[in-house]
Amino acid sequence: MTATAPSGESLWSRCDGCAALLYRKRLRRNLDVCPECGLHARLAAPERVSQLADPGSFRPLPDRAVEVDPIGFVDVLPYPHRLAAARADTGLAEAVLCGTATIGGSRCALAVMDFRFLGGSLGCAVGELITRTAEQALELDIALVLVTASGGARMQEGALSLMQMATVSQAMAALREVGLLTVSVLTDPTYGGVAASFATSADLVLAESGTRMGFAGPRVIRQVTGRTLPEGFQTAEFLLRHGQIDMVVPRHALRARLATLLAATRRRATNRPGATAPPPEAARPMPASRAPARDAWETVRLARHPGRPTTLDYLETTFDGFTELHGDRLGGDCPAVVGGVARLDGRHLMVIGHQKGHTTAELAARNFGMATPAGHRKALRLMRLAARLGLPVVTLVDTPGADPGVEAEEHGQAAAIAENILTLSVLPTPVVTVVTGEGGSGGALALAVADRVLMLQHAVYSVISPEGCAAILWPGRTAAPQAARALRLTAPDLCRLGVVDEVVPEPDGSAADDPEATARAVRQALLANLLPLLDVPTVTLVQRRRRRFRRFGAARAGVRAGAR
């Protein structure tokens, strides 16, 4: 199996990964993925379009690329000769195939690069075609999908090829300004000027399995630095671990994953603030006055119970579908925060939450739900994306607090939390928070500046843990039960203080005893509180959110204390 899957007459092909001899028809049925070792062969642009677009839906751009030779470049051959040879070899006019199509029924503008054509290099004609495709998306009010495969900017066109990075990026910025989705699908290889512009500046960045991506290629890095590169360097899995991409998708699942994302972010009136919302499907959760009292320290222990449902559990049971998005795009992907696009009663929304675990191994792997700066910045990226796309935001809070480690401090933990709080204060889309377990200090508030704050009956929410409070203000940590009672950290207490709007009932015992019933209660509470917010104009929504938190000033707090 050669590096680029050919259309030759040979009946057999040898895989470059495992050297297996493969029957070509079987290989094609498997989308040019080796059934023995999983190696993804490179695809020509027409084959890629055929695999991704709904049958018969692709319509190429009406304009063909103009032939350019801006600087009269000559190496061993004149540049025009190289262009002519590339056209003859590939049957394409340029290194990108552009048009409109539907993927899973969702219409989009589509630009697919072809590495066979001069290494998929970005020149003036390629930049012009991709820019026109973005402009078509803007005109038609549809998403833009870019499939990249490139060695970088085209040297034969000098600095003008470099300018294409800015030209295409500007066109994508115009889509961002009006809230149209951009999706980049990285395929092997994606390097240089393409990687450093539109391939990684899209709203969502997916990587096909086996993809390599970076600004400089590994050979250049070794030459310049003299260092041995780590195993798996610049591979899709490496990029995922380092927060650079949202997900790695095998080729056979790529079309379905794109279809899900395009459907979730398609512009609809029901997903924008100010739209008319249908009636909720269930009654509202119980007010504070009906919530039965329980000792505060006992509540703390219930909130920390390892059997309580986690965010991933709720995403499995409360919501109707979920596509996880990864990474802060700055170098990290904190496992203590999960987020992505979900559906709730037919409506798409962004869900972000702390993730703990049920076993010791899971808790350790998720840092016990304590977000690093990368986790807060991942949440921030998803909040801003939701706002651009008109998606409501639901946050699920369950953390003992933000990560207090040295590395977190080195990477700006305080500033990361502060930026989340600031952004949520002005986010132009509805935000509903549910405190599902522990709501610990600033780490909790970083996801909880919301229009409506709900709290499970046996959850807690506090400025500090009872143990921490006892260690500071009492003779020792053994006074934690007393501190828990003094902190007024239970749901009924916080409802009376106005910090929490409503209490979501838990089944007999607690959420750990009946996770399914708890999931149903959370679903009902979310629908009852989220749907009315969809009717509120954006300006009013933000003003109300600001007033909600303004009321916690000293004079108002004094009034509430006097009432107690």
DSSP one-letter string for 84-140: HHHHHHHS-SSSEEEEEEEETTEEEEEEEE-TTTGGG-B-HHHHHHHHHHHHHHHHH
Question: Would you say residue 277 lies in a domain?
Answer: no
CB-based contact 421:443 (threshold 8 Å): no
Task: Judge if 88 and 187 occupy the same domain.
Answer: yes
Please state, in angstroms and rounded to a whole number, the distance separating the CA atoms of residues 226 and 236.
23
Task: Judge if 60 and 11 occupy the same domain.
Answer: no
User: In this structure, what CATH number is given to the domain that contains residue 530?
Assistant: 3.90.226.10
Please state, in angstroms and rounded to a whole number, the distance separating the CA atoms of residues 476 and 10.
79
Task: Judge if 316 and 449 occupy the same domain.
Answer: yes
Task: Judge if 429 and 555 occupy the same domain.
Answer: yes
Q: Which residues pair with 321 in a beta bridge?
A: 343
Taking the CA atoms of the chain, what radius of gyration do you get in angstroms?
27
Q: CA nearest 266: which of 104, 49, 58, 431?
A: 104
Residue set of the binding site for Zn(2+)? 15, 18, 34, 37
- In the block, tokens 């600095």 appear at 159
In this prediction, residue 272 carries a pLDDT of 42
Element (H, E) at 55: none
- pTM: predicted TM-score of the whole model, two decimal places: 0.84
Burial class (CB in 10 A: 0-12, 13-18, 19+), 412: middle
Residue set of the binding site? 15, 18, 34, 37
At residue 141, the 3 state secondary structure works out as: coil
Q: How many CB atoms lie within 10 A of CB 93?
A: 17
Q: CA nearest 391: which of 280, 265, 279?
A: 265
Task: Report the relative pairing of strands 452-456 and 431-440 from DSSP bridges.
Answer: parallel
Q: CA nearest 545: which of 441, 452, 462, 455?
A: 452
Residues in the chain: 564
Task: Judge if 37 and 149 occupy the same domain.
Answer: no
Question: Would you say residue 272 lies in a domain?
Answer: no
Question: Would you say residue 397 lies in a domain?
Answer: yes
What is the domain extent for residue 34? 1-41
In this prediction, residue 289 carries a pLDDT of 42
Query: Which residues have a Cβ under 8 Å from the Cβ of 130 and sit 6 or more positions away?
Result: 96, 98, 111, 146, 168, 171, 198
| DSSP class of 235 | B
Task: Judge if 318 and 234 occupy the same domain.
Answer: no
Question: Would you say residue 435 lies in a domain?
Answer: yes
Please state, in angstroms and rounded to a whole number, the distance separating the CA atoms of residues 89 and 502.
66
Residue-level pLDDT, tens digit, the chain, 564 residues: 544 444 455 788 888 777 778 878 878 888 888 887 888 888 999 999 999 999 999 999 987 767 788 888 888 899 999 999 999 999 999 999 999 999 999 999 999 999 999 999 999 999 999 999 999 999 999 999 999 999 999 999 988 898 899 989 999 999 998 999 999 999 999 999 999 999 999 999 999 999 999 998 888 888 888 888 888 899 999 999 999 999 999 999 999 999 999 998 876 544 444 444 444 444 344 554 455 568 999 999 999 999 999 999 999 999 998 999 999 999 899 999 999 999 999 899 999 999 999 999 999 999 999 999 999 999 999 999 999 999 999 999 999 999 898 888 888 888 899 899 989 988 999 999 999 999 988 889 999 999 999 999 999 999 888 988 888 888 866 889 999 999 999 999 999 888 999 999 999 889 999 999 999 999 999 999 999 999 999 999 999 998 888 887 654 555 455 445
Please state, in angstroms and rounded to a whole number, the distance separating the CA atoms of residues 365 and 310.
14
Amino acid at position 470, single letter: A
Question: Would you say residue 133 lies in a domain?
Answer: yes
Beta strand extents in 337-406 (DSSP E only): 337-344, 347-354, 393-399
Please state, in angstroms and rounded to a whole number, the distance separating the CA atoms of residues 452 and 127.
45
Q: End-to-end CA distance of the chain, in Å?
A: 76
- In the block, tokens 């007010």 appear at 287
Please state, in angstroms and rounded to a whole number, the distance separating the CA atoms of residues 376 and 367.
14
Task: Judge if 171 and 313 occupy the same domain.
Answer: no
Q: Which residues pair with 344 in a beta bridge?
A: 347
Question: Would you say residue 430 lies in a domain?
Answer: yes
Q: CA nearest 243: which of 126, 128, 150, 373?
A: 373
In this prediction, residue 290 carries a pLDDT of 52
Task: Judge if 6 and 122 occupy the same domain.
Answer: no
Question: Would you say residue 540 lies in a domain?
Answer: yes
Q: Give me 296's structure tokens.
A: 């505060």
Find the DSSP H helices in 141-183.
Answer: 158-177
Max Cα distance, the chain (Å): 87
Task: Judge if 481 and 497 occupy the same domain.
Answer: yes
In this prediction, residue 458 carries a pLDDT of 95
Task: Judge if 229 and 328 occupy the same domain.
Answer: no
CB-based contact 356:310 (threshold 8 Å): yes
Q: CA nearest 157: which of 117, 121, 189, 113?
A: 121
Domains of the chain: total: 3
Please state, in angstroms and rounded to a whole number, the distance separating the CA atoms of residues 117 and 134.
21
Q: Give me 100's structure tokens.
A: 């409109």
- In the block, tokens 């009672």 appear at 485
Distances (CA, A) of 435 to 340, 515, 536: 18, 15, 23
Question: Would you say residue 108 lies in a domain?
Answer: yes
Task: Judge if 261 and 239 occupy the same domain.
Answer: yes
Provide DSSP, 210-224: T-BEESS-HHHHHHH
Range 127-138 burial, b when 16+ CB lie within 10 A, else e = bbbbbbbbebbb
Please state, in angstroms and rounded to a whole number, the distance separating the CA atoms of residues 441 and 516.
28
Please state, in angstroms and rounded to a whole number, the distance separating the CA atoms of residues 232 and 237.
8
Task: Judge if 31 and 165 occupy the same domain.
Answer: no
